[in-house]
Structure 1
Amino acid sequence: MFHGILRAAALSAAFLATSAHGGTVVLNEVMASNSATITDAAGTYADWIELYNDSTDTVQLSGYGLTDTPSNPFQWVFPAVSLAPGEFLLVWASDKDSTNPSGALHTNFKLSSDGETIVLTRPDGTLQDSLPRAAMGKDVSWGRTPDGGSQLVYFSVATPGRSNVGGGQAVLEPPAFSHSAGFYPAPFDLSISSGDAQAIIRYTVDGSEPTETSPVYSGALRIEDRTGPASGILLVRTTNPYNVWHEPAGNVFRGTPVRARAFKPGFLPSKTVTGTYFVTPKGRARYPFPVLSLVTDSVNLFDDTIGIYVPGSKYAQTGVKEDANFYQSGGDWERPVHVELMEEDGTLAFSQGAGMRIHGNYTRDYFQKPFRLYAKSSYGRDWFDTRLFPESDITRFKRILVRTGASDIYTALIRDGVIQSLVSHLSFDTQKYRPVVVFFNGDYWGIHFFRDRYDEYYLQTHHGADPSAVDLIEIDYSLPGGPFDADPGDATAFTGMLSYTKNHSAADPQVYEHFKTLVDVENFAEYCAANIFAANTDWPHKNVRVWRARVPYTPGAGQLDGRWRWLAYDFDRGFGLRESSQADQNTLIWATIGNPNQESTWLLRWLLLNPDFRTMFINTLADQLNSTFTEPRMIGMIDSLAAQIAPGMPEHIARWGEPKYLYYWTAYVQTLRNFATARRPHMIQHILGYFRTYTADTAAVTINTAGPAQNCGTVRINRITIEDGFPGVSRGVYPWRGAYFRDIPVRLVATPKPGYLFVGWETSTGTISTSDTLLLTLACDTTVVARFASTNDVQAPRVPLEFRLDQNAPNPFNPGTNIRFTLTAASPVQLAVYDVNGRLVRTLADQPFPAGSHSVVWDGYDAMDRQVASGVYLVRLTAREGVLTKRMTLLR
């Protein structure tokens, strides 16, 4: 492990060798797929670039540029470090961006094992050196021989920070398959070819990497349906003895994983190519959802010593549950796999190397285990580039969570997916959901679910956060090291916020106002209300996730304003798990005074002492009853998600024996429906009982609109916008009817459509207000009408009411993005982009603008017309009305 700048003197004649550069600093060696060669100070196997001083003079590198994008030569700039004659300098291409001259150097980019041109540029902009593009296998480097020389070769034994020795002639090109991986309706012959007639192709069909002892390809491989009795890994027990595991019943559907590699004396072997082939009369139509194939040497999953999917030898010796292999975590228990995602239409979404780790807590001991996939340059590609969830616009994933039914694995399987899908429109983050069938080395492994993985990269792609400047905390009061496990970041600010609440009263308005600069209270209220309705009794003492951008409170910065926000996680014990319905579970009591761990309920109890929060929380519960959790919406969601996996359930049950029978599964799904039907009246009684000091009953509010035509405008009540398309609001929405709580004021806002004006609010007593915002306290059932009128000139421009800088779109973006802002009056405007260190990148506009909305495009280039690197940037709007800032994320 190297902890600083790597320097070593070359003690051979290579020190005096004359290179093609005439004696100077050169790019001497590079590795783009560091799997086991060398780690940085953090223990990470990062890409690296080695420089060598082939001159007789010490060279000061301050101001030199290093890049893997030739059009952006100063993508990363050296600090004040020098390189003495005959010395080497190792720079980590890790994307960590560290320029401390007394420590290890890390660039702000990573390398691709498919090959990239590396360029070293002098401070005056002239070329110092470059290494041409070259694809690299795992732990194979590319560089000069001798040190500083002009001959470029591959090194099967890399020498970071030392003199280059050995080297192969070249790396062979990988073989090619005659057929694409996927599903076929009939058997066929698979041919494997190489562009080098002298190369020997070796292959495997058991998931292992081909080696020099693997079978030699001598003719086409017959690919056919391998369905048959369970054998091999299908008969490996994947649980401890005390947990449920069944042998597969009957025949199991199986595909053929083919891996091939080219060998030739004097050459480094090619990369391994992998393709999984399935033969079934229905072809791809066999499964109505995506198929994920994982191919790896079976020892990586099922070996007693290193296999991550089995209890293992240590558990066999100690009998301690936590000693089981599948309970281990971290990089030491990550295993290499090749993953292929086959979409419903037969297209191959991606096929690449990745790392695999077992995921979860107690669910690791179940027969079918959740796992995570890691995209890393050491496996080939740094990201999974695909639209994993069709309803989302996110197309890049650093990590993918492949989840099972978890606590719901013996019952309905879809419980967490149903609940998180129901609340996905609310202000807290949720994990998107998509069923997928998984195969290990061609063997059917059952129904799983793609889910979002909460980590710094999720926050980067979904919120534009700087992944190196976020705090993400798991809260679990059963953790042996304390309840707060931060990764990334730390829990200092969160515990500081809690300490503030312990020493101040929420009933004090000034305290509450300050607290709102620390926590997004609307987010917290909606999050708590959703868990309470769902009867999630596996919360709040655990299964809590919170995050924030690690910056001081920044009003107007949206999700990156530095406040704490909550993320939905693990609803598997909600909606009546293993109960007849659990609809009468008083989770409002559980979340405040009934939970055995009182510390976990402190924050909600503390906030409810404040009258403003209490009113908002009661209304939030009512809003969700009136929209998110209406019976038709819940039943529709349950039916939809159950129908998605129903065609695959007979095969899943035959494979795992759980649920025991198909009609059992149908009954467990019906338990969800029973909960959805029965929950509402219990929830209302729980709310009235808990808040009996403030409200005695519910009252119905009926909201209608009136005007010269239909759809003159819309009404928003609290957080519900009453219009087609809002979750839980039916079509033909007006008149709309909801139940709220007496003596608790609700907020109504009227918004006219273009061509209309809002006139006033009317009840049975006449017009009660002409303001577009109305606070209405219900004493009895009430009908209120929002009246609109036509404007004289529907084309007349309207003066904006708000000085605003919108979030750029798209975000994250590549290559360009649209920045929109609004002025309420004419003003000189400066619109400029800065990096996260406050350095000006480019001024986009510096001129007067009239009142109204305006749009400016940033193409991702700086003031010198150089393409900037991936990262987080700030766009700042300066006008007479003030200064507004937003964060933007550029992903190259």
Structure 2
Amino acid sequence: MTRKKTLILIFILLFIVLGLSFIGRRGIARRFPLTITEICACNKNAAYDDNGDYGADYIEIYNSSDGPVSLLGWGLTDSRKDLFKYTFGDVTVEPGQAVIAWSSPCIDDTSLYRDDYVPSDIHDIPFKISKGEVCILTSPDEKYVQRLPIPYDLPDNKCYASCLDDPGRYNITSATPYYVEETFIPEKKEILEAPSFSIKGGWYDGDVVVTLDAPKGDIYYSLNGSVPDSESYKYEGPITISNRTQEPNIWSAMGDIATANTYIPDFPVDKGTVLKAVAITDNGTSEIVSQTYFVGLDSYGYDGISIMSVSMDPDDLFGYEKGIYVQGKVKDIYGEKMDLDPFEYIYDYCNYGKEGRGWERPVNIEFFSEDHHKVFEQKAGIRIHGGFSIGQNQKSFNLYSRAEYDGNEYFKYDFFKGNGNGYSKVVLRTGGSNDLFVTKQRDVFCQSLVADRDVGIQRAIPCALFLNGEYWGMYFIQEGIGESYIHEHYGIDEDNVIIIKNNEVSTDDPEDLKLYTDLVDYISTNDMAVDSNYRYVEDKIDIQSLIDYYITEIYVANGDAFSNNLALWRAKNPTGDKYGDGKWRWLLYDLDESCAMITELTNASIDSFIEGHWEISPLNGDKLFSSIIKNEEFKERFVSSFIEMTEKNFQYESVHEKLSILSAKCKDADIKSQERFRGDFVVSSYEPGEDFTPPYSEDDYNADIAVIDDFFKERASYITNYMKNDLGLSD
């Protein structure tokens, strides 16, 4: 009997131990109303915080009770030795609601908060959420509420989460912050082979009949850019592709995409057909594949220029939560916090104003040459590009080639016929915030004039863009400033490059930025007329590159330079190569507010040495130039280079011929693009006598090109005299 009782007791103890282990493993907290329902331990682009920023790990805490619960005095930690690493303040969790504790800081200026705004999210939890560790929630009376182990194999951008119908069971799922799923739906496991197309995408005069095939599963497809799933068209036989232009606009009819020019076309835009297909079984799915067919389109606006088709999940473009082209949820987040006028919404306070890897979305690109033959296709990433221009209805994009998308670190095609080293980033640029609605060509054209100088330029080619099958206007495919650009042009290894662009450093190392800012401080606080001081600077700077940069910006009268749109680079660790000497070299970009684009600020008669810029000018506020020009050797070299570039690079007859070639190539494409996007929008700072009444005509275009031409015709005499007077040169 004693032995039997002993066995029973052992059995009971084992049952208790196993039960406690089970509870610990599952993290059940049935006696308390608050539970951890979701943890993300590596959030690259899974979810963004209440600042609209990705990248922060987070813990979701849910109130399962029927009444509000205060978190005041509760503890959150990753260590049993310190249960109150983070102690909550007086945050109330409403019934059936959740709050998020983020590892990121709150970057808001809280003085702008409305008086009635009460923050719900928690920031700055003082520990890193790591895979394989535990997360512990503790009540104010120091009782364990929940101890939740985080799996070692939790993938990046995935969460460990529970659901309402089985709160003690945790699964690896996609992120759903602020929302607890009713039930767990297992993701399909099998990866199927993607469907194949009988005819590849291209430019066709008449209808195209396409057949699809997949080794396994049913095929589902869409024709308008939407993502196919089991609710889409089921493939039953050959698909006839026709001209879809007269169908109602879908993506071109989207609102909520701009704060400046909000025009939406009231006519059917040109349309290609993006045929997207996927194979699906009960337990598996393939990747979604696509081909773009341009069928029966009028060639006007496309002759002689390339075509780029970009297809992607429409929700990634126009969705409220994660769409990169809309004002979206981020605007509403900030609208709840503070009162902002529409101008302020342009930058940080809209979806399209957010930056960083988290706001990059996957796309499929197809590129067609100037004769409209398909050259290549590739999977890539896309983000919104630009400053003030992001508030316009036609936005610029950055495209990124990454191995994670399709194994390619660089784009498979050399758009610019360069050195063949490859690019991991290119820009689809509209022409800036103002020239976007005029010629689109100022930036590209001005840079092309100094291609032979010692300042870096971005080569570019014009193209027509189709976005999910709908015509999206004229763009320039342009080199993107980045490590691959430096490697392509200068041969420096990408991991040995420091790039500074608008006071942000590519390495994210403040010490690398300090290398430049300390040098500028040295130049401005030491007499550059002293030879030893100048020799020190000469050892740190490629003097000719600096000179060519300033001459270009001054001559073309770029009003948005020096204090803004400043880029330079150097090799981090000097090598024996020509450009590996560790000297700073300058790069040009965003020259669109030049050549009389801002009539009162950047006209041919403006003295760009001392005025004509939004903030500082070379001899009026620019610490670097106004100091180094005091050295006679530098001044002599600057003047000599200025005269040389005036007589060669900016010589009017040569400029006129080059402008005629580019403007002729872009004429129809630009006019067509203005019809699509400009409407009756007025560029108030641009006054060529144009009344901006639509439609934008060939006469309007010719008049706009003439403004650039007249600028260069008149510029030399003005700016040469200014140089002599401002630099104190004798005749």
| Class of the TM-score when normalised by the shorter of the 2 chains | 0.5 to 0.7
Pairing of 1:258-407 with structure 2 (within 5 A): 258-265=275-282, 268-280=284-296, 286-316=302-332, 318=335, 319=340, 320-321=344-345, 322-394=348-420, 396-406=422-432, 407=434
Q: Which AA in structure 2 matches 1:568?
A: L
The answer to whether the Cα contact below 8 Å between 2:219 and 2:278 also exists between their aligned partners in 1 is: yes
Alpha-carbon distance change, 448 to 295 in structure 1, aligned in 2, over 3 angstroms: same
Q: Which runs of 5+ in 1 are unaligned?
A: 1-10, 12-33, 46-103, 105-137, 142-155, 159-165, 476-482, 697-892
Distance 2:258 2:394 in 1: 12
Which residue of structure 1 aligns with residue 450 of structure 2? 423
Q: Does 1:609 align with 2:630?
A: yes
Match for residue 528 of structure 1 among 550, 559, 562 = 550
Distance 1:168 1:389 in 2: 39
Q: Does 1:458 align with 2:481?
A: no
Specify the SS of the correspondent of 1:587: coil
Q: Does 1:687 align with 2:713?
A: no
Moved more, 398-407 or 657-666: 657-666
Q: Does 1:205 align with 2:223?
A: yes
Which residue of structure 1 aligns with residue 459 of structure 2? 432
Distance 1:285 1:311 in 2: 30
Q: Which AA in structure 1 matches 2:709?
A: R
Distance 2:560 2:671 in 1: 30
Which residue of structure 1 aligns with residue 238 of structure 2? 220
Moved more, 629-638 or 224-233: 224-233
Distance 2:668 2:300 in 1: 14
Which residue of structure 2 aligns with residue 883 of structure 1? none
Q: Which AA in structure 1 matches 2:552?
A: A
Alpha-carbon distance change, 535 to 299 in structure 1, aligned in 2, over 3 angstroms: same
Higher helix share: 2
Distance 1:400 1:200 in 2: 37
Distance 1:221 1:294 in 2: 21
Higher relative contact order (CA 8 A, sep 6+): 2
| TM-score, normalised via structure 1 length | 0.56
For residue 316 of structure 1, report the CA deviation from its aligned partner: 4.9
Percent pairwise identity? 25
For residue 496 of structure 1, report the CA deviation from its aligned partner: 2.1
Q: Which AA in structure 2 matches 1:199?
A: G
Q: Does 1:414 align with 2:441?
A: yes
Q: Does 1:252 align with 2:232?
A: no
For residue 389 of structure 1, report the CA deviation from its aligned partner: 3.2
For residue 211 of structure 1, report the CA deviation from its aligned partner: 2.8
For residue 212 of structure 1, report the CA deviation from its aligned partner: 3.5
Distance 1:348 1:609 in 2: 55
Q: Once the two structures are superposed, what CA deviation does each residue of 1:477-504 show, in whole Å capped at 9, x if it has no partner?
A: xxxxxx4555555302112212322442
Pairing of 1:784-863 with structure 2 (within 5 A): none
How many residues align? The count is 534
Alpha-carbon distance change, 230 to 673 in structure 1, aligned in 2, over 3 angstroms: farther
Higher strand share: 1
Pairing of 1:545-556 with structure 2 (within 5 A): 545-552=567-574
Distance 1:531 1:378 in 2: 39
Q: Which AA in structure 1 matches 2:725?
A: G
Q: Does 1:618 align with 2:618?
A: no
Q: Does 1:639 align with 2:660?
A: yes
Which residue of structure 1 aligns with residue 701 of structure 2? 665
The answer to whether the Cα contact below 8 Å between 2:301 and 2:668 also exists between their aligned partners in 1 is: no
Which residue of structure 1 aligns with residue 577 of structure 2? 557
For residue 638 of structure 1, report the CA deviation from its aligned partner: 1.4
For residue 423 of structure 1, report the CA deviation from its aligned partner: 1.0
For residue 591 of structure 1, report the CA deviation from its aligned partner: 8.7
Distance 1:609 1:284 in 2: 55
Give the root-mean-square deviation of aligned CA atoms.
3.3
Which residue of structure 1 aligns with residue 136 of structure 2? none
For residue 347 of structure 1, report the CA deviation from its aligned partner: 3.3
The answer to whether the Cα contact below 8 Å between 2:596 and 2:711 also exists between their aligned partners in 1 is: yes
Distance 2:519 2:395 in 1: 36
Specify the SS of the correspondent of 1:201: strand
Specify the SS of the correspondent of 2:313: coil
Q: Which AA in structure 2 matches 1:622?
A: I
Q: Does 1:493 align with 2:510?
A: no
Which residue of structure 2 aligns with residue 161 of structure 1? none
The answer to whether the Cα contact below 8 Å between 2:440 and 2:670 also exists between their aligned partners in 1 is: no
Q: Which AA in structure 2 matches 1:342?
A: F
Alpha-carbon distance change, 633 to 596 in structure 1, aligned in 2, over 3 angstroms: closer
Alpha-carbon distance change, 579 to 233 in structure 1, aligned in 2, over 3 angstroms: same
For residue 535 of structure 1, report the CA deviation from its aligned partner: 0.8
Q: Which AA in structure 1 matches 2:717?
A: P
Which residue of structure 1 aligns with residue 33 of structure 2? none
Which residue of structure 1 aligns with residue 255 of structure 2? 237
The answer to whether the Cα contact below 8 Å between 2:437 and 2:678 also exists between their aligned partners in 1 is: no
For residue 282 of structure 1, report the CA deviation from its aligned partner: 5.6
Q: Which AA in structure 2 matches 1:672?
A: I
Pairing of 1:704-723 with structure 2 (within 5 A): none
Distance 1:260 1:229 in 2: 21
Q: Which AA in structure 2 matches 1:611?
A: E
Which residue of structure 2 aligns with residue 543 of structure 1? 565
Alpha-carbon distance change, 236 to 210 in structure 1, aligned in 2, over 3 angstroms: closer
Distance 1:568 1:219 in 2: 53
Specify the SS of the correspondent of 2:471: strand
Q: Which runs of 5+ in 2 are unaligned?
A: 1-20, 22-43, 48-53, 58-129, 131-154, 159-171, 175-185, 680-691
The answer to whether the Cα contact below 8 Å between 1:421 and 1:432 also exists between their aligned partners in 2 is: yes
For residue 171 of structure 1, report the CA deviation from its aligned partner: 3.6
Specify the SS of the correspondent of 1:560: coil
Match for residue 443 of structure 1 among 446, 467, 470 = 470
Moved more, 383-392 or 365-374: 383-392
The answer to whether the Cα contact below 8 Å between 1:592 and 1:604 also exists between their aligned partners in 2 is: no
The answer to whether the Cα contact below 8 Å between 1:246 and 1:656 also exists between their aligned partners in 2 is: yes
Q: Does 1:648 align with 2:675?
A: no
For residue 410 of structure 1, report the CA deviation from its aligned partner: 1.8
Q: Which AA in structure 2 matches 1:236?
A: M
Alpha-carbon distance change, 190 to 229 in structure 1, aligned in 2, over 3 angstroms: closer
For residue 44 of structure 1, report the CA deviation from its aligned partner: 12
The answer to whether the Cα contact below 8 Å between 1:229 and 1:250 also exists between their aligned partners in 2 is: no
Match for residue 534 of structure 2 among 512, 515, 534 = 512
